[in-house]
Structure 1
Amino acid sequence: MSAAAVLPSGAEMMQYLVDSAGPAREPAADMAELADVIRNLLAVEAGRDTVVHLGGNLFDVVITGGGVQARAVAALMDAVQLEGGCGPVIEDSDRGWLYWLVPPGSAARWEPHPYAVCLGAPHTITLPSLNRRVPPGPYWMRPSASDRLVPMGPLREALAQLRPEPTPHAALAAQLGISP
């Protein structure tokens, strides 16, 4: 370093950092989504239901009927996912649906299926509190584990084989305001 180089003072450096951070009270674009995810996951852990955006780095969701055949699919997935059994599944007995949490990006690769619909971004899902294991309302039929999701390929095959009904297509299309 030459003798001619002048380093900024501590106050000048702090002012530079404040100026480069952007407008006050406006979170950085890349941090707003992370903060939202953390708040939602903390709410679930604290025993509250919470709305989570699908897609991103968390998960997408496959929606199926919730009848006897769907329970057989869950049992088959227990066998496929040997250690720890089937990944997370939420049962909504009011609608008669199961929500299978699958890896993020599954919706983009999901081909039309006669017994299931896969949704990702920009949709949301309400996750029940982690301790809700029975109705009323949606509950964890298969509890969520931090490192486990339901694999899309084996789930598609099991759904095609066991054909859970009623299928969610028409009801979901009406809810979303689209044609099936």
Structure 2
Amino acid sequence: MTTAVLPTQAEMMQALDRAAGAGREPAADMADLAAAIRALFRVEARSDARVRLGGGLFDIVITNSGPEARSAAALMDEIQGRCGPVIEDPEDGLLYWLVPPGSSDRWAWHDYAVCLGAPHKLRLPSLNQRVGPGPYWFRPPASDRLVPVGPLRDALARFRPMPTPHRTLATRLSITT
């Protein structure tokens, strides 16, 4: 008796690419979507992946990760029933709050946070990464829930996570353009 071996997600994507043929190019507006899907497959497969912010995925709000930011996360837990996804980078002392795409376009100056979208990229830790070293899921993703910007802005203004990320953001390694 032989057992069937199922292909991995990566093998399925490669087979689909081969089946499309060399002459078939994705539509220009689908290239970002295809790259995002491949990156999310890597995250699900327990690998880190870099994803482009904005588009149809998410933007990020960046704050310090100290006790004040943790208090803001606890308040967001109450507001949302469980806070949307947040990544902690213990090496840089930052939290990356995943917020709805397009939030950076409407973001007004905030004393304790910065919001970034396209063309920046963020390294997403694998879904099973729940502790350091390196970036990990402080609040893991749950279905399609993101952190709502309005209540987050209010929580950050209330708890005032310091130091602010404004001055040193450009030197952070996990955010790129």
Distance 2:171 2:50 in 1: 20
**Which residue of structure 1 lines up, in the alignment, with residue 133 of structure 2?**
136
TM score, norm. by length of structure 2: 0.82
Q: How many residues align?
A: 152
1:84-99 superposed matches below 5 A: 85-99=82-96
CA separation in 1, counterparts of 2:115 and 2:97? 9
Separation in 1 of the partners of 2:170 and 2:86? 21
CA separation in 2, counterparts of 1:134 and 1:100? 16
Deviations 1:117-140 (A, max 9, x none): 000011110000000000000000
User: Is residue 107 of structure 1 aligned with residue 97 of structure 2?
Assistant: no
SS at match of 1:69: helix
Q: Which residue of 2 aligns with 1:74?
A: 73
Structure 1 residue 37 displacement after superposition:
1.1
SS at match of 2:35: helix
1-structure distance, mates of 2:77, 2:66:
17
**Aligned partners of 1:92 and 1:173: how far apart in 2?**
15
Q: Within 5 A, what are the aligned runs for 1:1-180?
A: 24=23, 26-82=25-81, 85-175=82-172
**SS, match of residue 169 in structure 1:** coil
Amino acid aligned to 2:114: V
- Counterpart residue identity of residue 107, structure 1: S
Structure number with greater Rg is 1
SS in 2 for 1:91: strand
Does the CA-based 8 Å contact 2:86-2:98 persist in structure 1? Answer: yes
SS in 2 for 1:99: strand
d(CA) in 1 for partners of 2:158, 2:54? 27
Q: CA deviation at 1:66?
A: 0.4
Give the secondary-structure state (helix, strand or coil) at the position aligned to 2:50: strand
Contact 2:92 2:172 in 1 (8 A): no
Offset at residue 38 of structure 1 (A):
1.0
Question: Are the equivalent residues in 2 in contact too, given 1:66–1:166 (CA < 8 A)?
Answer: no
Once the two structures are superposed, what CA deviation does each residue of 1:100-156 show, in whole Å capped at 9, x if it has no partner? 000001001110001000000111100000000000000000001231000000000
| Counterpart code for 1:75 | A
Provide the TM-score with structure 1 as the length reference. Answer: 0.81
Distance 1:86 1:80 in 2: 8
How far apart in 2 are the matches of 1:74 and 1:28?
40
